[in-house]
Chain A
Amino acid sequence: MRPTQAAGTTTGEAFQDGNVLAGPFREFFTTDLTTATGTCAACGRAGPLAELRVYTHAPGMVARCPECDAVVMRMVRGPEAAWLDMRGTTALRIPLPGE
């Protein structure tokens, strides 16, 4: 049925872009965080969160650095709260639209 799938079953292809975080983030942030620049605690790469590699089939969502593969962010949504674990991120620069 899906011959490309055979090549695609390596874990290397199981991720999506940080774009997929846009909706979940908007559940608790009022601005789009995927255009914010995040700095990786492991390698220092700075880039938009939209470029992270996101694994949604893990428990919760796990975002890894596209440069060094370190986990930079993890998000778990429970029935009453969301957990955002950001120990892999040293800084977030959030663009603010002018008034």
Chain B
Amino acid sequence: MTRISVNVDGTTYEDDVEPRLLLAHYLRDRLGLTGTPIGCDTSNCGACTVDLDGATVKSCSVLAVQTDGCAVTTIQGLAQDGEWTALQRAFHEQHGLQCGYCTPGMIMAARDLLRENPHPGPDEVRQALEGNLCRCTGYQNIVRAVLAASGHQDPEAASASGHQVGEEVSA
């Protein structure tokens, strides 16, 4: 067992954990923060994406012990006083989710994109979300949601303009 101190969504937790415990399981099973779901065991799906000290990570590929002294933000830490973030509102308004299982990870990944690139084009959004799989939406409305949250007045037109599948996007 190893002692860790980690701040999750604004609350600091002191815990003894097995060194092999994954962050995803620590959040879900130990802290009861089940807003972060697990979708795969190969870190391909992105459902469990969280923010770790300002970087997005897939919490199924991070050990809880690695978060000692860190700050973690999950989907449950985004809304403040019941007020949704612009991204959360955009996912709702653009119908960017159906079953919603991938949604926490999508929102966390999109949040990271908008931090780095506040006004992405549709291809940049698609490339940025490549590590997050969705089986319901075909991604179109997810892309629109991210464009809407970034201030595009007409996300539908923006997402349709000039997008070419598989086109390389220069960083």
Is A bound to B? no
Name B residues whose Cβ lies closer than 8 Å to a Cβ of A: none
Residues on A facing B (Cβ under 8 Å): none
